[in-house]
Structure 1
Amino acid sequence: MADAKPLRASSAAPEGATGVLVLANGEIAWGRGFGAEGAAVGEVCFHTAMTGYQEIMTDPSFAGQIITFTFPHIGNVGANADDIEADDPHALGMIVREDVTPPSNFRAVEPLDVWMKKHNRIGLSGIDTRALTRRIRSGGAPNGVIAHAADGKFDIPALLAQAQGWPGLEGMDLAIDVTTQTHFGWEGGVWRLGAGYGDGASTSLSTNGEGLGLQPQPFALSAVEGQAHRPHVVAIDYGAKRNIYRNLVAAGARVSVLPATATFDQVMALNPGGIFLSNGPGDPAATGEYAVPVIRQLLETKLPLFGICLGHQLLALAVGGQTTKMFQGHRGANHPVKRLSDGAVEITSMNHGFAVERDSLPGGVRETHVSLFDGSNAGIELEGGRAFSVQYHPEASPGPQDSLYLFERFVGMIRERAA
């Protein structure tokens, strides 16, 4: 960071400082803590979205990460119970430029700092986030510790040791920590003003994982055509965002969700019409140790298959490709992606620190999308079109609807196969 000073054992908080960021290389930045008190260690990354911070903080893909928001005014719209992707935040904390202000939005239920404290997440304001972002862009995403103490007292050497002792995301399987532990059926479509998500979020079909071989039960979707006769999608949850399931429902599907460790037999016992591979955190190669063999078996069934983010990377691994850790990663709601079939550009939301190596893709796998920021791979399709995946998040609607066709395409493939 431009204004960071070398760490010394005698480093003391400046007057008024109640929060600190300590990087593994010894760089340090003081600020004002908010939310929960304590310390958290993880990878420090940056995100370019101007809003949607609840969605970002609760996205399971951010497990193990501390989010630096490049937009300075985070918290203006407050917090509510709808703008979440999981019951609790998975990001470890947030770093912002300006202090969190009282909310100014008709949907706000409580201030962001109150929501952060309630969910035991640490915030740090008063940081030169532009300098920190430049530091990440030039030096890569570092390991670090974010800490908040109301009395301004910190054991800096201990925090440094914690940052240096954290192994980093490469080689780390985090999907196993964030995946569902149950088999359940998803209900409810996309959010609508004044109506919310409709008839509720989910209905549990199993509470202990022992019922994974059961046939799926009819879903209460009386307000939509098809009801239980809708195309059945079995989603494997590696850390899925809820809005993915909502968009699958909106596209006409009936959705059952299984844990990341689900076996081929457990998936097929639900008689799927199509398979969905979700997003999630961590190193895809580590998750692939148990996920890839199952995906390879599923590909042999010729069932339509669709993957997003980590699901995209796992599909690439399953067909013989490779993934690598990115220098800084892609995290934002304004990433342009070129669709190679017609040259159209989609404005997408991205959140990934690993990427598929296009040169590793074997014959029979076609690249379908590329990032216009750095040219990295953003989509693949298997020969015959029966399986495809994208690196970005179409459910996040940054375009806002540039990429929703992917859900419709997937459900349409299932309908066509069943006809």
Structure 2
Amino acid sequence: MSYYEVNFDGLVDPTHNYAGLSFGNVASKSNANKVANPKQAALQGLEKMWALTQLGLHQGVFAPNCRPDLHTLRSLGFNGTDAQVINKVAKTEPYLLKACYSASSMWTANAATVSPSCDTSDGKVHFTPANLSNKLHRAIEAKTTSLVLKATFPDEQIFVHHPSLPQHPLFGDEGAANYTRLVDSYGHTGLAIFVYGEDANSNVKPQVFPARQTKQASEAIARSHLLDYAHTLFVQQNPDVIDQGVFHNDVIAIGNENMFLFHEQAFYQQRQVIEEIGRKYQGSRPLHLIEVSSDDISVDAAVKSYLFNSQLVSLPNGGMAIVAPSECQTIDGVERYLASLCKASNPIEEVIYLDLKQSMQNGGGPACLRLRVALSSEELNAVNSQCLLNESRYQTLAAWINKHYRDRLAESDLADPNLLLESQSALDELTGILGLGSVYPFQQV
């Protein structure tokens, strides 16, 4: 049976804006209050999906959350018509309006943690939607994200959907952005590496920015997903780099099959971590462990370029490619380093640069935009086929974006009730395109 890694990319929401809500995310904060272009953002993301499809890879589409989140606003005591709620919040609690209008669900790497069937003891694919409890604008995503996951992966005989972890600091969970799987082939049992920023039983933690993933959350997910602890590792991220703006592990390390690329400052007690990865990895193909030195790429350059937030993908011919943001071509030394990787003794054959400026300015690169799901051919056939990209669906989605999205969105526009109606109209049509049914609250009233 054939196995594939399918990237399910999040569609950018019609309300994409630069609110600067993510403390600890340097790009998000530094671009706060700039004017965004939702149409360009969505088209850039769609072009990335289509580029991977043209490489011969399987590509999925993941629907966004509905914004604004009126349910949250009403639960906080704002009442009246939808327009009246928006008007009241804009005048009295503009921060809440920004949080409930955030399009952050576009970064699908935070949507969930996924364990493939060849790693789980029941032979099923397991999903746990992230609770994202560290930030209000993200903590409100879990319910809808869970519904979208179930609509995208509907077969209960093949896919297991767990509830998100409790909304408590002890179980802060940011999804697959802190998870890496190393394996010699997608269809074999892999080494599941959970990276956390803080352990409740340790004083080792960042001092400037919060650690968003806890060890307790990672352990809970591993238990729920029925993983074998002989093939599972829990590794602490270096708290010093969290304090330098590395808010998720996928900003400082990236892995795919038997290739692991990581910065020399990525992990706490890194030498022991890499030795343990080498001991636990099992496979017929050798493991390529590539440590990037600070002399080659500083932590600051890694954060500004999102080098490690590139996608590392396996090509149909057996090699690998790095799908990197075009910002890597503008930071001194990064493009040169990536070019040298293609000439070294490792599986990487080429670097593909893509323009994702709208997402990058809000703090997310290519890897943030996708959820990786390893599937057998049988499991792939059980996926909602309307959520898989082909040329016809690509063209339909491009037309849908051009029809519904604004090309300019400033913070002041969030107070416009028409934006709410435009967003709901767009998402109502999207559920038909992707065959999602009624996943949004406004469709169930």
- Structure with bigger gyration radius: 1
Greater RCO (Cα-Cα under 8 Å, separation 6 or more) = 2
Q: Which has the higher helix share?
A: 2
TM-score by length of 2: 0.28
TM-score by length of 1: 0.29
